[in-house]
Amino acid sequence: MGYLPLPVAGIDPGCVNDANAQIEGVADAVETNMNFDKEFDASGLACPLPIVKTKKSLNDMAPGQVLRVVATDPGSVCDMAAFAEQTGNALLESGEEGGKYVFFLKKA
Amino acid sequence: MASKKMAIIATKGALDMAYPPLILASTAAALGWEVQIFFTFYGLQLLRKDLSGIAISPLANPAMPMPVPMPVIVSVLPGMQAMATSMMKAKMKKKGVASLTELRDLCLEAEVKFIACQMTVDLFEFEKSDFIEGLEYGGAATFMKFAGETDVCLFI
């Protein structure tokens, strides 16, 4: 089993303001082994670094390319959804793997 | 779509109060916002080249979690501020919290505009050479010009 969509994994991130964005992101999470063009490991980093450095990682990517982000900060679950919603970079999938949070962002 | 804008007035120079302006500014910039920070009074300390002197004190700070209950009379003792500061910094590092210098660099890299309040620079007799490069210097009217166009405006 690959990435569990968050509701299935029993995690309610309880995001304020953007619960819809989170659900939409998860609703697309059918693929479990998504291809990606680049990976950013934010493990061990605390707010705001996972978001700020995700943005930096996206900077040199081409539109349509997919960035895989791994994070350990529980706050990044809601923050990544909020980031995606505000920047237009689609959160294709988010889930949990081996105690870490995994996100797939498609660059706008 | 025109980007959103945020203006922050940073007035504090203690370790805990130094973080919010830099966290919010770097995050907003990552979201594509145009951001300016106006540094005034003790906030000017955040513009120094070397931020290692930024400290936190348990004095008059009853909400600060301490490993053991700390009577005020103990917090007054010499060395307590240095101890509290080094403990806080060690904890931050352990938890993956960015250093102030790193956050500030991320802000500058993301083109957050830093404005030093000319009046307080003069008041505290700072030299421009005390500060990092790339600052603008201005007064309240300079700040209000941008602040009037913003979506979010914060006083910290």
Q: Do A52 and B32 touch (CB under 8 A)?
A: no
Chain B residue numbers with beta carbons less than 8 Å from the beta carbon of A83 are: 30-31
**Among chain A residues, CA nearest to B106:** A52
Q: Does the beta-carbon distance from A52 to B97 stay under 8 Å? A: no
* Structural domains of chain B sorted by starting position, each given as residue range(s) with its CATH number in brackets: 1-51+99-156 (3.40.1260.10), 56-98 (no CATH)
Distance CA A85, CA A68 (A): 17
Contacts of B104 in chain A (CB under 8 A): none
Residue A15 is among the residues annotated as catalytic for this protein: no
**A107, A61 contact by CB (below 8 A):** yes
Q: What is the pLDDT of residue A71?
A: 96
Between A and B, how many residue pairs show a Cβ–Cβ distance under 8 A? 38
Q: Nearest to residue A14, comparing CAs of A87, A101, A62, A78?
A: A78
Architecture in CATH of A37-98: 2-Layer Sandwich (3.30)
Q: Among all chains, which residue has been given the structure tokens 């106006």?
A: B38
pLDDT in tens, B49-93: 999 999 999 888 888 888 888 888 888 899 999 999 999 999 999
Whole-number pLDDT of residue B70: 82
Provide the percentage of residues in chain B whose pLDDT is more than 70. Answer: 99
* Domain chopping of chain A, boundaries: 37-98
How many angstroms separate the first and last alpha carbons of chain A?
Answer: 29
Helix ranges restricted to H, B38-117: 72-75, 80-94, 100-109
* Residue B68 confidence (pLDDT): 84
Active-site position among A9, A27, A47, A52: A47
- What tokens were used for B27? 């995050």
Residue of A nearest to B4 (CA): A86
The model's pLDDT over B3-60, given as tens digits with 9 standing for 90+, comes to 999 999 999 999 999 999 999 999 999 999 999 999 999 999 999 999 999 999 988 8
Partner residue opposite A87 with nearest CB, options B23, B31, B96: B31
pTM of the model: 0.86
